[in-house]
Structure 1
Amino acid sequence: MKTYQFIWRLIRFRSWLYLGSLLGQIAFFGVGRLAFGLMLQGFFNTLNTLNHNPARNTILPWLFLGGLALAAVLRALIQFVSLSPTITSIFKTNALLQRNLLRYILQRPGARPIPGSTGEAINYFRDDIEVVDRLFGEMAYAIGLVTFIIPAMLILLHIDTLITVSVFLPLLCVVALAQAMRQRQQRLRTASREATGILTGAIGEIFSSVQAIQIAGAEEYAVKHFHRLSQLRQRQILRDTVFFSALQAVFGNIVGLGTGLILVLAALYHHLSPGDITIFISYLGTITTFIVSTAYVIAQYTQTRVSHQRLVDLLQGASPEILVQTDPLYLKKPIPELHTPVKLEIDKLALLQIANLTYHYPDTDRGIENINFQLRRGTLTVITGRVAAGKTTLLQTILGLLPKDTGDLSWNGRQIEDPASFFVPPHSAYTPQVPHLFSETLEENILLGLNAEPAKLQQAIQLAVLTPDVAKLENGLQTIIGTRGVKLSGGQAQRTAAARMLIRDSELLVFDDISSALDVETESQLWQQLLQQRQHSCLVVSHRKAVLQLADNIIVLQAGKIAAMGTLQELLTTSEELQQIWNGTV
Structure 2
Amino acid sequence: MTTFQFLMGLITYRTWRYVINATAWTVIYMVPIIPGLITKEFFDSLTGDASLQMGTWGIIALLLAAALARVVLIIVGFITDVNFRFRMGMMLRRNMLKHVLKQPGARAIPCSPGEAISYFRDDVEQSEEAASWSVDVFGMTCFALVSSYILIGIDAQMTLLVFVPLVLVVAVAQLATSRLQKYRAASREATSRVTGAISEMFGNVQAIQIAGAEERVIERFRKFNDTRRQTMLKDKLMGEVLDSIFTNSVNLGIGLILLLAGQKLRGGSFTVGDFSLFVYYLTFVTSIITNVGKFITYFKQMGVALDRLKGLLQGAPAGVLILKEGLRLRKGSAVKENAAAAAGAVATGPSDAEPLRSLEVEGLTYRFPETGRGIEDIRLKLDGGSFTVVTGAIGSGKTTLIRTLLGLLPKDEGTIVWNGKTVVDPGTFFTPANSAYSAQIPRMYSDTLRNNILLGQQERGDDLQQAIHTAVMEYDLDHLQNGLETMIGPRGVKLSGGQMQRTAAARMLVRDAQLYVFDDVSSALDVETEQKLWERLFQSRGDATCLVVSHRRAALTHADHIIVMKDGRIEAEGTAEELLRISATFQELWSGDERTADAALPEGAALQPET
Secondary structure, aligned partner of 2:444: coil
| Deviation of the 1:527 alpha carbon | 1.8
Q: Which deviates more from structure 2 when the two are superposed, residues 88-97 or residues 332-341?
A: 332-341
8 Å CA contact 2:206, 2:493 repeated in 1: no
The counterpart of 2:323, out of the listed 307, 313, 325, is 325
Of 473, 480, 492, the residue aligned with 1:485 is 492
In structure 1, the residue matched to 2:510 is 503
Query: Which digits, 9 at most, give the CA deviation of each residue in 1:533-568, with x for residues without a partner?
Result: 542111111122211111111122222222322211
Which one of the candidate residues 267, 273, 281 is aligned to 2:262?
Answer: 267
CA deviation profile, 1:467-494 (whole Å, cap 9, x unmatched): 5545655555444433223333433332
Deviation at 1:331, TM superposition (A): 3.7
Which residue number corresponds to residue 607 of structure 2? none
Which of residues 46, 67, 75 in structure 2 aligns to 1:72?
67
**1:345 shift after superposition:** 7.2
Q: Which stretch of structure 1 is more off in the superposition, 485-494 or 290-299?
A: 485-494
State the one-letter code of the partner of 2:318.
P
Give, as a single letter, the amino acid of the residue that structure 1 aligns with 2:510: I
Give the match for residue 604 of structure 2: none
Match of 2:7 in 1: 7
Q: In 2, are the aligned partners of 1:131 and 1:303 still within 8 Å (CA)?
A: yes
Aligned counterpart for 2:225 among listed residues 230, 233, 238:
230
Q: Deviations over 1:44-92 (max 9, x none)?
A: 1112229x9xxxx965221111101111111111112222121222222
Report the equivalent of 1:191: 186
The one-letter amino acid of 1:150's match is L
Matched, 1:569 2:586: no
Q: What residue is the counterpart of 2:602 in the other structure?
A: none
Of 541-550 and 13-22, deviating more is: 13-22
Match of 2:86 among 73, 87, 91: 91
For the aligned residue pairs, the C-alpha RMSD in angstroms reads 2.5
User: 1:524 matched to which residue of 2?
Assistant: 531
Once the two structures are superposed, residues 2-27 of structure 1 have per-residue CA deviations (whole angstroms, 9 ceiling, x without a partner) of 32232223223233433332222122
Alpha-carbon offset, residue 344 of structure 1: 8.1
| Residue 283 (structure 1) aligned to one of 274, 281, 284 | 281
Determine the structure 1 residue equivalent to 2:314: 316
Instruction: Please tell me whether the aligned partners of residues 429 and 506 of structure 1 are also in contact (alpha carbons under 8 angstroms).
Output: yes
1:19 aligns with 2:19: yes
Distance 2:510 2:91 in 1: 31
Inter-partner Cα distance in structure 2 for 1:28 and 1:58 = 27
1:28 alignment counterpart: 28
With over 3 angstroms needed to count, the CA separation of the structure-2 counterparts of 1:103 and 1:476, relative to structure 1, is farther
User: Are the structure 2 counterparts of residues 297 and 61 from structure 1 closer, same or farther at C-alpha, using a change threshold of 3 Å?
Assistant: same
The residue type equivalent to 1:4 in the other structure is F
**Contact 1:347 1:426 (8 Å CA) reproduced:** no
Q: Which residue of 2 aligns with 1:361?
A: 368
- Count of aligned residue pairs for this structure pair: 580
- CA shift in 2, pair 1:263/1:238, >3 Å: same
Q: Which residue of 2 aligns with 1:414?
A: 421
2:167 maps to 172
What TM-score results when the alignment is normalised by the length of structure 1?
0.92
Matches within 5 A, 1:431-446: 431-446=438-453
Matches of 2:571 and 2:206 in 1, distance apart? Answer: 36
Q: Which amino acid aligns with 1:37?
A: G
Which residue of 396, 418, 439 corresponds with 2:403?
Answer: 396
Which stretch has the larger CA shift, 149-158 or 562-571? 562-571
> What are the ranges of 5 or more consecutive residues in structure 2 without an aligned counterpart?
597-611
Where 2:12 maps in the other structure, the secondary structure is helix
Deviation at 1:227, TM superposition (A): 2.7
Q: Which amino acid aligns with 2:545?
A: S
2:355 aligned residue (348, 361, 385) = 348
Q: 1:219 aligns with which of 210, 214, 217?
A: 214
Match in the other structure for 2:251:
256
Q: Give the letter aligned to residue 39 of structure 2.
A: L
Identity %: 44
Deviation per residue, 1:139-159 (Å, 9 max, x gap): 222222112111111111111
- Structure 1 CA distance, aligned partners of 2:438 and 2:306? 35
CA distance in 1, matches of 2:251, 2:287: 12
Structure 1: gaps spanning 5 or more residues: none
Letter in 1 for 2:310: V
Match of 2:291 among 290, 293, 303: 293
Report the equivalent of 1:122: 117
